[in-house]
């Protein structure tokens, strides 16, 4: 995927890929937009914020090779959405089961903070993807930016019909329209959240257990 709509992010991802972190000097960084990961007929869509500079921007696969992924994948494995708990590289054999991971912003931003313009720029990619993912029944939004981004897409499509104004809170869930997916909010598994105890493993597992219950055990 070649996209250069965000000059700041294009420059940053290239720079990180050239300079590298000391521990990864021998590796070739991905250094460009990171595509979504998982089957196109998935019923669970996990919506993250953006690739980590030395995680997905290095490995080329969502939540792969960083601490956020080390927190996410064991939970996906325990709840039956991933084939293994480790996610180290693009060729480590991991597959997602009935789940797909996309992100609000596909290029790594400095300090994990995309600007509002960059989020808007990337929204059309997500919008297009959502139109193609016709089997999605549950969306887990990881963090408020992903949550707001999804609401913006629903609003623009004129689909936001709920009487209640959706508010982000960990574990909150919404049906924005009768025929739409269940939207579940979760704190993002960033190191900032997990190392401070704002997001614990049981809290995170409860979100995916709820998704699993909603989808049922069988496809
Ligand atoms: S963040 Fe999205 S819109 Fe911006 S350059 Fe990357 S892929 Fe393109």
- Looking from the CA of residue 105, the nearest atom of ligand 1 is 1
Number of structural domains (the chain) is 1
Distance 1 CA to ligand 1 centre (A): 10
- Residue 215 has a pLDDT of 97
In this structure, the residue with its CA closest to atom 2 of ligand 1 is: 122
**Does 2 reside within a domain?**
no
* Sheet order of strands, 99-103 included: 99-103, 44-48, 138-142, 182-186, 173-175
pTM of the model: 0.96
Supply the range of the domain harboring residue 105. Answer: 7-217
Give the closest residue to 188 by CA, choosing from 72, 79, 101. Answer: 72
In this structure, the residue with its CA closest to atom 8 of ligand 1 is: 3
- Residue 131 has a pLDDT of 96
Residue by residue, what is the 3-state secondary structure of 106-171?
CCCCHHHCCCHHHHHHHHHHHHHHHHHCCCCCEEEEECHHHHHHHHHHHHHCCCCCCCCCCCCCCC
- Residue 2 has a pLDDT of 83
Q: CA triplet 135, 137, 141: central angle to 5 degrees? A: 120
In this structure, the residue with its CA closest to atom 3 of ligand 1 is: 122
Distance 121 CA to ligand 1 centre (A): 6
Please give the chain's pLDDT, 219 residues, in tens.
Answer: 789 899 999 999 999 999 999 999 999 999 999 999 999 999 999 999 999 999 999 999 999 999 999 999 999 999 999 999 999 999 999 999 999 999 999 999 999 999 999 999 999 999 999 999 999 999 999 999 999 999 999 999 887 776 678 999 999 999 988 889 999 999 999 999 999 999 999 999 999 999 999 999 544
**Does 205 reside within a domain?**
yes
**Does 1 reside within a domain?**
no
Report the pocket of ligand 1 as residue ranges, CB < 6 Å: 3-6, 9-10, 33, 105-107, 118, 121-122, 125
Where residue 36 sits, what CATH number does that domain have?
A: 3.40.470.10
- Looking from the CA of residue 10, the nearest atom of ligand 1 is 5
């Amino acid at each position: 995927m070649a996209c250069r709509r965000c000059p700041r992010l294009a420059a940053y991802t290239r720079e990180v890929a050239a300079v590298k972190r000391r521990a990864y000097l021998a590796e070739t960084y991905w250094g460009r937009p990171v595509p979504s990961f998982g089957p196109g007929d998935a019923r669970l869509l996990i919506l993250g914020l953006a690739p980590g500079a030395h995680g997905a921007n290095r490995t080329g696969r969502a939540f792969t090779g960083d601490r956020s992924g080390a927190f996410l994948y064991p939970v996906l494995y325990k709840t039956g959405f991933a084939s293994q708990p480790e996610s180290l590289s693009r060729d480590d054999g991991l597959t997602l089961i009935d789940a797909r991971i996309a992100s609000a912003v596909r290029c790594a931003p400095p300090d994990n903070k995309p600007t509002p313009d960059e989020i808007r720029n990337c929204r059309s990619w997500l919008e297009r993807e959502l139109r193609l993912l016709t089997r999605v029944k549950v969306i887990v939004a990881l963090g408020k930016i992903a949550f707001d981004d999804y609401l913006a897409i629903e609003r623009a499509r004129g689909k936001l019909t709920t009487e209640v104004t959706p508010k982000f809170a960990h574990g909150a869930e919404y049906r924005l329209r009768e025929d739409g997916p269940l939207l579940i909010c979760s704190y993002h598994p960033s190191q900032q959240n997990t190392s401070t105890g704002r997001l614990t493993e049981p809290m995170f597992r409860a979100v995916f257990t709820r998704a699993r219950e909603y989808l049922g055990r069988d496809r």
